[in-house]
Structure 1
Amino acid sequence: MSNFIELEIQNLLNQTQDLDEVAARLTSTIESSPDHFNLDNITAFARFLNFSGKHQKLVEFILSHLENESFPIPWPYFLEALGHATLDLDEKTVKALLEGIIESGAEAEAARSQALNKYEPLLGEWRSNRKYKIHKDYLKNKKILLDMLITLRTQQLYEQEKHLLQRLQKLYPDDSDIQRETREHKQRYALEILSRRSPKAREANTDDLEQKDPETEEALRALLSSLLEHAEQDPEMAFDFAIVAFMLESYEAALEILEFSEQTESYLWLRLEILLKCRRFVELLTEVAQVEMLLSHEPETFFATAYLRAQALWGLGQKHTAIEVMEGLLASRPHYRAASALLNIWSGQ
């Protein structure tokens, strides 16, 4: 789009509402200098004339400059104007138009207009080719970005992966592949929380027994209250707010905030982790079984639920059973480092 012509149109419309006068003055402005004869300017001018219903003026303008080899013909707008103008195109004229389009390599651009379909079926073929190319470019670009996503994932560049996913969601808002990648990304984030857990973190810490700063506690309560309020008003953000509360180690608040979130796979995994942090072991065991059934099609479900079940059993004092579950998990996945470290600690105790 030409900013020069767009600004000129706006300026002229502020001076007068007479579209014929605006069209005449724009024509004079463009024709006043060879520098104005570029595709952006001519396209903006042609768009204005067509939208204003001045199709005949556009046809006359273009025809008057056809002898100028440097004149860029705005083919889709020209064809639209010809279709709307009170003209009856003969076979010779249509043939000349097609030759001009082919010589300038503008088949894809010309195919944007359907105004002359009744004169020449070839335009429909060009349109099909254009749609095919757009779809092909769409798939190619998506594949390139998805390959970048996999690269970022393998390098564990979480933030870059998140930003690329956001870009993909804007480019392909209804694409099922992108929606699946987004869900899996959030699920992996929940699983990452699990894998980073330190078993020692659940042991009593003398720092926790110290008296906490009242001002800090008051600020934390205010923040959590605000998160809860905003989660209720904007459920789409509830999942992210729950993670914030989780990171602040306010697990009961995180659980309460999470209730406003849509119950996606990421929701299920984060809820299980929060239940573990809240030491709600019986409730955790019940929901682990439900998640196993709901997500049985996911290959990682068995390992993640086994890891959680073992910790819940340990928390309930069923230590022998917990160790057996963890050993079974490691038998299937010997390189599960978090499970191996946890089992070593349990065995030592």
Structure 2
Amino acid sequence: MSTYIELEIQNLLNQGSDQNIDLAEVATRLVSSIESSPDHFTLDNITALSRFLIQSGNELVLVEFVLRHLENESFPIPWPYFLEALSAFSEELDEKSVRALIDGIEEDGAQEEASRSLALRQTIQSLGEWRSNRKYKIHKDYLNNKRLLLDQLITLRTQQLYEQEKSLLARLQKLYPGDSDIRREVNEHKQRYALEILSRRTPRSRGVKTEDFSPKDPETEQALQVLMQSMHEHAETDPSMAFDFAIAAYMLESYEDALSLLSFSDESETLIWFRLEVLLKCRRFVELLTDLAKVEVVFAHEPETFFATAYLRAQALWGLGQKHTAIEVMEGLLAARPHYRAASALLSIWGGQ
């Protein structure tokens, strides 16, 4: 709102509370104050005045005010508010008056501005067409502005201006919330930043190479299968052995069997933590994240819970492809415990990948 109008309204309302002046009198005095000097006829002042008159129920005051200055070429006609005020007297508008309104709007080039009003849409048929044109222009401007900003984003990315790119992405997210193109650019930016962090943390001279595993021997596989079946049968009849069997299966890298064997054992704190490790090995990342949330509540009183769950959560997020978030979690873990060697080593491995 115009500062001048805001101060005038506040001053008049304060006087009104002291002198029992009603809103109608405040509206009249406000119009007189505006008319006291041509310098007050700015777009901000007239718009603010019109909004106040509409909201205070003084439509007639606004209509009379506009009509008095209609011939003044320097007077900015508040078309949407003027139409709103006229709608209170729509029954009195004849065809000649409607034609005069349309001519006035067109001469003023204010079709787009007038179409902001939903009033008189039945009386002035042209308002519908103007409103459609306005929506089309807004949509076109929306797409053009988005394209220009995305082009600017590419330029910043090419020049590797990370902070400027980040700032522009934040602006784009505010301007176009929920836009799939913007969301994709944000995710790509986070991904590149995550990989950059890893490249800085990982020594160039020390790459981590993936081992070449040879296919397992069929006879060994068959023997392992027989062993696992026997373990399941014994665990079912003697649950007290289930946990030991699960550890054995884990050491033999038969992780799904280890998870299955744990279901026969009574729940304990040791079993809960071991099961989380097994879920990670089984690549059941969503199930692991769900169980981690429960574990954090159950063992919240233990100081090591935060570090253990954060370490597992980062690995689950990485497995789900949320690499930026995974690195953020691991960085937070290292910030709290700089000498957490397992976390530092894992970041180096990710960097090598």
Alignment counterpart, residue 270 of structure 1, candidates 327, 332, 350: 327
Alignment counterpart, residue 198 of structure 1, candidates 198, 203, 208: 203
Partner Cα distance (2:206, 2:14) in 1: 69
Q: Write out aligned runs for 1:176-195 (5 A).
A: 176-195=180-199
Q: Percent identity?
A: 61
Amino acid at match of 1:198: P
1:102 correspondence with 2:106 = yes
Partner Cα distance (2:116, 2:150) in 1: 30
Task: Give CA deviations for 1:153-174 in whole Å, capped at 9, x if unaligned.
Answer: 1111111111111111111122
Seen in structure 2, the aligned counterparts of structure 1 residues 272 and 82 have a Cα distance that, compared at 3 Å, is closer
Shift of 1:268: 5.8
Seen in structure 2, the aligned counterparts of structure 1 residues 259 and 10 have a Cα distance that, compared at 3 Å, is farther
Structure possessing the higher radius of gyration over alpha carbons: 2
Seen in structure 2, the aligned counterparts of structure 1 residues 276 and 103 have a Cα distance that, compared at 3 Å, is farther
Partner Cα distance (1:253, 1:100) in 2: 70
Counterpart in the other structure of 1:14: 14
Counterpart in the other structure of 1:162: 166
Counterpart in the other structure of 2:178: 174
Amino acid at match of 1:125: E
1:101, 1:107 within 8 Å by CA — same for their partners in 2?
Answer: yes
1:55 correspondence with 2:87 = no
Question: Aligned residue pairs: how many?
Answer: 240
Shift of 1:58: 0.7
Q: What is the TM-score of this pair, normalised by structure 2? A: 0.60
Shift of 1:254: 6.8
Amino acid at match of 1:270: I
Seen in structure 2, the aligned counterparts of structure 1 residues 16 and 143 have a Cα distance that, compared at 3 Å, is same
Moved segments of 4+, more than 3 Å:
199-203, 251-264, 266-269, 271-281
Deviates more, 1:154-163 or 1:190-199: 190-199
Shift of 1:261: 8.7
Partner Cα distance (2:115, 2:6) in 1: 25
Amino acid at match of 1:60: E
Deviates more, 1:169-178 or 1:142-151: 169-178
Shift of 1:120: 2.0
Shift of 1:112: 0.3
2:317, 2:323 within 8 Å by CA — same for their partners in 1?
Answer: no
Alignment counterpart, residue 279 of structure 1, candidates 345, 349, 352: 345
Amino acid at match of 2:87: G
Partner-residue secondary structure (3-state), 2:50? helix
Counterpart in the other structure of 1:91: 95
Q: What is the TM-score of this pair, normalised by structure 1? A: 0.61
2:112, 2:131 within 8 Å by CA — same for their partners in 1?
Answer: yes
Task: Give CA deviations for 1:124-176 in whole Å, capped at 9, x if unaligned.
Answer: 00001001111111111111111111111111111111111111111112222
Partner Cα distance (2:321, 2:183) in 1: 12
| Structure 1: gaps (5+ residues) | 204-250, 289-303, 309-349
Shift of 1:256: 7.2
Partner Cα distance (2:111, 2:82) in 1: 13
Seen in structure 2, the aligned counterparts of structure 1 residues 53 and 86 have a Cα distance that, compared at 3 Å, is farther
1:39, 1:72 within 8 Å by CA — same for their partners in 2?
Answer: yes
RMSD: 3.4
